[in-house]
A and B are shown apart, each in its own frame.
Chain A
Amino acid sequence: MQDPITPELLKDYTTLNLGPTHPATHGIFQNVLKLDGEVIVDTEQTVGYIHRAFEKIAERRPFYQVTTLTDRMNYCSSPINNIGWHMTVEKLIQVEIPKRAQYIRVIIMELARIADHIICNAVIGVDTGALTGFTYMFQWREKIYDIYEQICGARLTTNIGRIGGMERDLNETAIRLINEFLRDFPKVFGQFRSLLERNRIFMDRVIGTGPISAERALNYGFTGPNLRAAGVDYDVRVMNPYSSYQDFDFNIPIGTSGDTYDRFMVRNEEMVESMKIIRQALDNLPEGRHFADVPEFYLPPKEDVYTKMEALIWHFKIVMGEQDVPIGEVYHSVEGGNGELGYYLVSDGGRAAYRLHFRRPCFIYYQAYPEMIKGSMLSDAILTMSSMNVIAGELDG
């Protein structure tokens, strides 16, 4: 009798749609997996489900209105996107903003980084089946949002800061909340870390899962925690310090094997470093104003607009996009939650940017996903994806 398992049958792969709306993708994007049993043979990715053409829209909007577009890219750490954009315009118009505003920005950006990493790392726990850590950590993201609320009035899509500084100074409640956060979060964070970091089950699941070498990671344009997990100590905050990052003492944690465990650990350590930076910035917060003297770009305070002629004129000119903008091209980048978030701005002196291109770190490193999961099990692919922290908004732009 003939053997029923012919070579043709062995080559018969299963096609599985992971996404677009799969709970484990944490966003809308699709992976069509070709499976041999439970082993991944090949992957085809489809992205663009929430593409909103920000680059086109930005060609029609005055600079201050682009801030709200940047919110919606990496919505887990929108203040970094906002402030990165403000700094790009400040670079174009060549204005130095006061130290106090720079320090406030550093505090906000580091809080945003913690919020971003809280989500990513807590969700890695969830995807391995450890829901408990997530419930503890997510409360603290809410507390960071309470701080945003005190600073800018919004929670998720923050529109924080202004071109030329901050819209208002840190108020007492904000400072109290930041201090409370720095006092109480490390306890919960420590519990979370002790729950997972040396947990045998967790370690067995994530060590060696979805690895990438430093060389491949660089070739794929990785930046941020994912690159550092592979062992390259590239961090925009250190390489090209902006907003006074050179004033602070902090370390850049790196991994060795670029696997899911290393990415998890790098993010954990980065949260510790971020707290160090916030502590230093808060303790050494310089006196002075929270905005630069650029009335042609910095939206004046509302009470002045209502009572002072000059402020009203500036307000009108800014809102209608009537101020003169220098002609030039500028590239500026900040260390976003996921890596180097770059802004390439071409200005022809018109009301809006002639061309604005966002270097979206997710979009660039997510290409490596098929290579990283090839030959691994389906359940490992899920973990690799959550540890890469692919944010759909940033992916599709």
Chain B
Amino acid sequence: MAEITNTYILEKLQQHFGADVLSSEESYGMLSVTLNKERNVDVIKFLRDDSELQFNFLTDLCAVHYPDNVGNELCMVYHMHSFYTNLRIRLKFFIPISHPHIATITVLYDAANWQERETFDFYGVVFDGHPNLKRIVNVDEMDYFPLRREYPLEDGTRNDKADEYFGR
């Protein structure tokens, strides 16, 4: 059996998902792969069930908002960990903010349930097929998604912390 390296994992992903593997990079030792958003469940299932890779543990999932990335504003980030090879991988799926839908992975991992609810709560990402998609830490009446970049942390009328005062 070949030694499992980041390059090897990437090759395997490219073999199986072909053009759905959009880009990849290695940062601080961790392989980070961007893929087609339609394939998120397939990719995670493949990584989990492959007899060599065995990414058996979903460490974490969250979203990031890039308002300047028009058409692909929201990025879903999944971190997976293999307890067998002790490798970690970061998977990214970009989705448009105008239609923020992605398939749920609660079918694979129960751990994703609350994390997806949290991501919905913060960013408004709708996880299709989620058993109980509602806000988790914020009040149900909230009508916006607070971690999106357009919501400033502080009162918008304050300017004493504006960047211009710090030479930027």
Our verdict on whether A and B bind, yes or no, reads yes
Within 8 A of A (CB), among B41-74: 56-60, 62, 64-65
Q: Check A346/B30 contact, CB under 8 A, given A51-B138, A331-B79.
A: no
Residues A344 and B154 in contact in the complex (CB < 8 Å), given A364-B111, A364-B114: no
Indicate if the CB atoms of A322 and B167 lie closer than 8 Å. yes
Instruction: List residues of chain B with CB within 8 A of the CB of A368.
Output: 110
Interface residue A84 (Cβ < 8 Å from any Cβ of B): no
* Residue from B60, B83, B138 having most chain A Cβ neighbours under 10 A: B60
Question: Which of B62, B109, B114 has a CB less than 8 Å from the CB of A344?
Answer: B62
Q: Is A374 interfacial (CB 8 A cutoff)?
A: no
Q: How far is the CA of A322 from the CA of B168 in the complex (A)?
A: 9
Bound state CA distance, A56 and B138, in angstroms? 13
B90 touches which one: A234, A331, A354 (CB < 8 A)? Answer: A331
On whether the beta carbons of B111 and A396 are closer than 8 Å, the reply is no
Tell whether, in the assembled complex, residue A47 and residue B136 are in contact, meaning their CB atoms are under 8 Å apart: yes
A378-397, CB under 8 A of B: which get 1 and which 0? 00000000000000000011
A364 and B109 alpha carbons, distance in the complex (Å): 11
Stretch at the interface among A185-193, A216-224, A260-268, A286-294: A216-224
Cβ of A344: which chain B residues have Cβ within 8 Å of it?
A: 60, 62, 77, 79
Complex interface: stretch among A20-28, A145-153, A355-363: A355-363
Q: Which residue of A lies closest to B146 (CB)?
A: A56
Q: Which A30-60 residues sit within 8 Å CB-CB of chain B?
A: 47-48, 51, 53, 55-57, 59-60
B28 and A219 within 8 A (CB): no
Bound CA span A320–B168, Å? 11
Chain A: residues with Cβ within 8 Å of the partner, total of 44
B56, B88, B111, B168 — most chain A CB neighbours (10 Å): B111
Q: State A386–B27 Cα separation when bound (angstroms).
A: 39
Give the interface size bracket for B toward A: 35 or more
B10 contacts A by Cβ under 8 Å: no
A364: contacting residue among B32, B115, B153, B167, CB under 8 A: B115
A328 at the interface (CB under 8 A from B): yes
CB distance from B136 to the nearest CB of A (A): 6
Q: Judging by beta carbons under 8 Å apart, are A218 and B57 in contact?
A: yes
CA distance A92 to B138 in the complex (A): 31
**Dominant secondary structure at the B interface:** mixed
When A330-B28, A340-B59 are in contact, do A219 and B137 touch as well, CB less than 8 Å? no
A164 CB, nearest partner CB in chain B, Å = 18
Q: Which residues of A contact B21 (CB under 8 A)?
A: none
Known A-B contacts A53-B146, A218-B57; the reply to A320 vs B166 at CB < 8 A is yes
- The answer to whether A363 and B114 touch across the interface, beta carbons within 8 angstroms, is yes
Q: How far is the CB of A221 from chain B (nearest CB, A)?
A: 3
A194 at the interface (CB under 8 A from B): no
Determine whether the beta carbon of A220 is less than 8 Å from that of B32.
Answer: no
Report if A367 contacts B (CB, 8 A). yes
Among candidates A330, A340, A359, A397, residue contacting B137 with C-beta atoms closer than 8 Å: A397
> Is B147 in the interface zone, CB < 8 Å from A?
yes
A366 to B58, CA, bound (A): 15
Residue A142 at the B interface, CB < 8 A? Answer: no
Chain B residues, CB < 8 A from A302: none
Q: Which residues of B contact A355 (CB under 8 A)?
A: 62, 64-65
Enumerate A304-332 residues with CB–CB distance to B below 8 Å: 320-322, 328-331
A135 in the interface (beta carbon within 8 A): no
Q: How far is the CB of A300 from chain B (nearest CB, A)?
A: 20
Is A240 part of the binding interface, using a Cβ–Cβ cutoff of 8 Å? yes
Q: What sequence of 0s and 1s flags, for each residue 130-168 of chain B, a beta carbon within 8 Å of any chain A beta carbon?
A: 000000111000000011000001100000000000111
Decide if A219 touches B153 in the complex (CB within 8 Å). no
Shortest CB-to-CB span from A56 to chain B, Å, is 6
Report the minimum CB–CB distance from B57 to chain A (whole Å): 6
Question: Which residues of chain B are within 8 angstroms of A321 by Cβ–Cβ distance?
Answer: 166
Contact of B28 (CB < 8 Å), options: A53, A328, A340, A351: A328
- Which residues of chain A have C-beta atoms less than 8 A from B93's C-beta? none
B6 CB-CB contact with A under 8 Å: no
Q: List 22 A-B contacts (CB under 8 A).
A: A47-B137, A56-B147, A56-B153, A60-B154, A218-B57, A219-B109, A321-B166, A322-B166, A328-B27, A328-B28, A329-B32, A331-B30, A331-B79, A344-B60, A344-B77, A351-B166, A357-B60, A363-B114, A363-B118, A367-B110, A367-B111, A367-B114
